[in-house]
Structure 1
Amino acid sequence: MAPQVVRWRRHLHQHPEVAFHEVDTSRFIADTLAHVPGLVITRPTPTSVVAELRGARPGPTIAVRADIDALPIHEENEHAYRSTRAGAMHACGHDGHTAIVLGLATVLAQHVAQLPGTVRFIFQHAEELSPGGAESLVQLGVMDGVRQVIGLHLWAPMPVGRIGILAGPAMAAPDNFQCTITGKGGHAAIPHACVDPIAIGAQVVTALQQVVTRTVDPLDPIVLSVTQFIAGSAFNVIPNSAYLAGTVRTFEPTLRDSVPATMERVIRGIAEAFGATVAFHYERGYRPVVNDRALAERLHQVVARTFGADTLVDLRPTMGGEDFSAYQQRAPGVFAFVGAGNVETGIVHPHHHPRFDVDERALDVGLRYLTAATIDLLSDA
């Protein structure tokens, strides 16, 4: 299947669609699966696809998830299969995830007479944009009756040929915030007659770092990043307002609950001290991805048997977020990382970079891993 999986991945890479707009992508997936005998295909939403393969004998239902959306990034790569759609790019590997699970469905369907149980393949829309597609699919019943759920992420920071499976916390909860500081605009040469939202905003950016360093236990992981600071339109005008936005990443539920109030108190304190007002909005994103420990240990053994124990990498959790966590609320789940980087060939750019790419040998590794994992979990019949 390796050459076909590569062809699928390249087709998807050339035709990216961003979150909630995966019309052609989902049609391609459904049309491809329609040629696989034995699959029952449904479309729970207009841009997602679910296919179910029922084995010849009774057994558990195992779910395998792939995300299918691209990012609003203009690709800067020059390879023949680069994006043909300006402003959209598969810059995170979802094209590879989709191709791998298409390959998995094809492989397992060829051996359905030997399989117990049921495999449910979930091709999920809108992983990249909150509120995401996973939560809506769960509410629509895609996890009903599922005993275990697995998925993977092609991982550029890790060399091709390696696999990482964390037991416990794996990815953080990605929340975001927005803040508008309203002061009093005027002439930049007469600052004393103004309330300068830029000067206040600069102090807010600095002070927010102390939320991390001085109000949070150093042993609790947290990231607080201000990623937008928008204000002003002319060199000689102090604007009336400044807009700040960013992200907060945490694992611990109690810390996640307490951070917004602390942030708002700090921001309002600074702004009010200089006569400005604040509009603060905090939005909770996905839950943290927490891998089931027993299932993770079992999949460690699957990797060791399939590839050799030296394939496993001892990963640390990442502060990136993933809505795979929605599926883990309904069944034990494990989200694995499959190495896709290659320094020697220049595949070194990080996820969400306009020159992101993967070593396509990782597609075969991912397919072999998911095949072995699914067959192992079905053996609990």
Structure 2
Amino acid sequence: MLKTNIVDLELQNWTIEQRRHFHMYPELSGQEYKTAEYVIERLKEFGLSPDMHFSAPNVVARFQGTEGKRTIALRADMDALPLQEDEDKPCVSTIPGVMHGCGHDGHTAILLAAAKWMTANAKMIKNNIVFIFQSSEEESPSGAKKLVEEGVLNGVDAIYGIHLMSDVPLGKIGFAEGFAMASSDDFDIIIEGVGGHGGQPQDAIDPVYISTHLIQAFQSVVSRSLHPLHAGVISIGGMQAGHSYNVIPHEVKIQGTIRAMTFDAAQMMYEKTEQLTKSICASFGAIGHYQYTPGTPPVYNHPEACEVAKKVIIETFGEDAFTELQPSMGAEDFGFYVKEKIGAFINVGMKSEISQYPHHHPKFDIDEAALPAGIKLMIQFALKG
């Protein structure tokens, strides 16, 4: 069993310094070039060289274990959000309109600290390790998808990732086994009707009226086409129509998201929404244009990886630390990794007075007391994954 004090105060303080650096200099999805340069500099200090086979600003480094019979991948995401941070904090973003509002600064610092510890204790690491510092988790195109396509999981036996969570109490660590997070796909719809005078609707084909039928029908996909035990959500997030009291517009634009907890449900909901768009619009004499944008697949926590993770949590932090979490309709592009390989995505609690605001909130902050737990998990996954 790894002693809980193996992550000493010096490493904890070093990790906090790294986290605060990333927090002060955030970069948006796909733009994390300075963050990547900083990560590469630290890795080189540890004696690790980045694998140049992968597209920037992703950073991948490999560690050769003493036995090398298994290869474990560990992943952190690096991107920030387009948010203006509330400045009433000890450490704030120096980039206007950009902040680490989801904890990725902590994830990157944690994985760097784990790499630092492993290189300093190389004789203890029997497995080969792949360190993945991933770009663009928050926005498409997904950094995870790109890395998988480029072969980052070639030869990998299992992959683990963590997420610091402001809605899980500090000191608690857990996950949902099986389908743990939903897929996330988007759609854009244009209802092309015939505009006209508001007082003479008989001469128009009203796309606003048609849109009400379409939105109602979409909810029937969830209530009548989706298996009652398979969670799914269709939400309309945007709608643009006319600008006048007495003019029926020519078209209506609709934007929405589809969330599903299984691969089959995601496919079915896509097919049904496309079919309904075209058929309902046609029934009123309008034309329905449907554009589907695939996002991220569901996150599936494999039972064998969950068994390892639960054992690691209990042995390292005690039975009281483990908490079984409910699946979430939130999405995470870690789903691309576990679609290909055995793996698990673990939530590290940090809910406290310091971390009391939800993710993606201008006042969101990390309770840095949770960072050591993240480091210990990454080290243990390297040892026992």
Task: Compute the TM-score of the two structures, normalised by the length of structure 2.
Answer: 0.91
CA RMSD of aligned residues (A): 1.9
Q: Is contact 1:167–1:297 with CA below 8 Å preserved after alignment?
A: no
The answer for the alignment partner of 2:324 in structure 1 is 314
Report the counterpart of residue 371 of structure 1 in structure 2: 379
Deviations 1:100-131 (A, max 9, x none): 10111011111013322321111011112233
Structure 1 letter corresponding to 2:270: P
Give 1:235 shift: 4.1
1:76 paired residue among 66, 86, 89: 86
Q: Whole-Å Cα distance in 2 between the matches of residues 66 and 359 of structure 1?
A: 18
User: Residue 175 of structure 2 contacts residue 326 of structure 2 at CA under 8 Å; is this kept in 1?
Assistant: no
Shift of 1:355: 2.6
Gaps (5+ residues) in structure 2?
1-10
Name whichever of 366-375 and 231-240 sits farther off. Answer: 231-240
Contact (CA 8 Å) 2:348, 2:374: kept in 1 or not?
yes
| Cα pair 1:131 1:286 within 8 Å, conserved | no
Is the 1:149–1:334 Cα contact (8 Å) retained in structure 2?
A: yes
- The structure 1 residue matched to 2:146, chosen from 130, 136, 143, is 136
Match of 1:145 among 144, 155, 169: 155
**Post-superposition offset of 1:201:** 1.8
What residue in structure 1 maps to residue 3 of structure 2? Answer: none
Q: Distance in 2 between matches of 1:206 and 1:57?
A: 59
Equivalences for residues 68-217 of structure 1 within 5 A: 68-217=78-227
Alignment-derived partner of residue 309 in structure 2: 299
The within-5 A match list for 1:236-247 is: 236-247=246-257
Letter in 1 for 2:378: L
Aligned length: 374
Q: Deviation digits for residues 275-315 of structure 1, max 9, x if unmatched? A: 32110112222221111102211221111111011111110
**Structure 2: how far apart are the matches of 1:235 and 1:95?**
48
Counterparts of 1:84 and 1:235, CA distance in 2: 45
State the distance in 2 between where 1:156 and 1:372 align: 23
Moved beyond 4 Å, runs of 4+: none
Q: What is the Cα deviation at residue 57 of structure 1?
A: 4.0
Checking the alignment, whether the CA contact within 8 Å between 1:40 and 1:53 is kept in structure 2 is no
Q: Is the Cα–Cα contact under 8 Å of residues 179 and 261 in structure 2 kept in the other structure?
A: yes
Higher alpha-carbon deviation: 175-184 or 49-58 = 49-58
Quote how far apart the aligned CAs of 1:364 are.
1.6
Deviations 1:128-155 (A, max 9, x none): 2233111221222222221211111111
Equivalent residue for 2:48, pick from 31, 36, 39 = 39
User: For structure 1, which segment, 305-314 or 368-377, has the greater mean C-alpha deviation from structure 2 after superposition?
Assistant: 368-377
Q: Which deviates more, 365-374 or 96-105? A: 365-374
Q: Deviations over 1:17-68 (max 9, x none)?
A: 11111111111111122211x3132242120111222234444221101111
Q: Say if 1:89 and 1:234 are closer, same or farther in 2 by CA, change over 3 A.
A: farther
Do the aligned partners of 1:182 and 1:241 also contact (CA within 8 Å) in 2? yes
Give the match's secondary structure for 2:165: strand
> Could you list the per-position Cα deviations for residues 198-225 of structure 1 after superposition, in whole angstroms to 9, with x for gaps in the alignment?
2322332232112211222211111111
**CA apart distance, 1:361:** 1.4
2:350–2:367 Cα contact (<8 Å) kept: yes
> For residue 52 of structure 1, what is the aligned residue in structure 2?
62
Q: Select 2:369's aligned residue among 356, 361, 366.
A: 361
2:281 is matched with: 271
Does structure 1 conserve the Cα–Cα contact (< 8 Å) formed by 2:263 and 2:298? no
CA distance in 2, matches of 1:159, 1:362: 10
User: Hey, what's the Cα distance between the residues in 2 that align with 1:230 and 1:348?
Assistant: 35
Which one of the candidate residues 201, 207, 224 is aligned to 2:234?
224
- In structure 1, what is the equivalent of residue 7 of structure 2? none
Mapped to 2, the partners of 1:233 and 1:241 lie a distance apart of 12
Partner of 1:7: helix, strand, or coil? helix
Deviation of 1:77 after TM superposition, in Å, equals 4.6
Aligned-residue identity in percent: 37
Instruction: Report deviation, 1:372.
Output: 2.0
Q: 1:366 is matched by which residue type in structure 2? A: G
Distance in 2 of aligned mates of 1:266 and 1:77: 47
| C-alpha distance in 2 between matches for 1:27 and 1:200 | 51
Whole-angstrom distance in 1 between the partners of 2:166 and 2:383: 27
1:234–1:55: structure 2 CA closer, same or farther, 3 Å change rule? same
Matched AA of 1:358: I
Using structure 1 for the length normalisation, give the TM-score.
Answer: 0.92
Give the gaps of 5 or more residues in structure 1: none
Which residue is 2:5 aligned to? none
2:162 is paired with a residue whose SS is strand
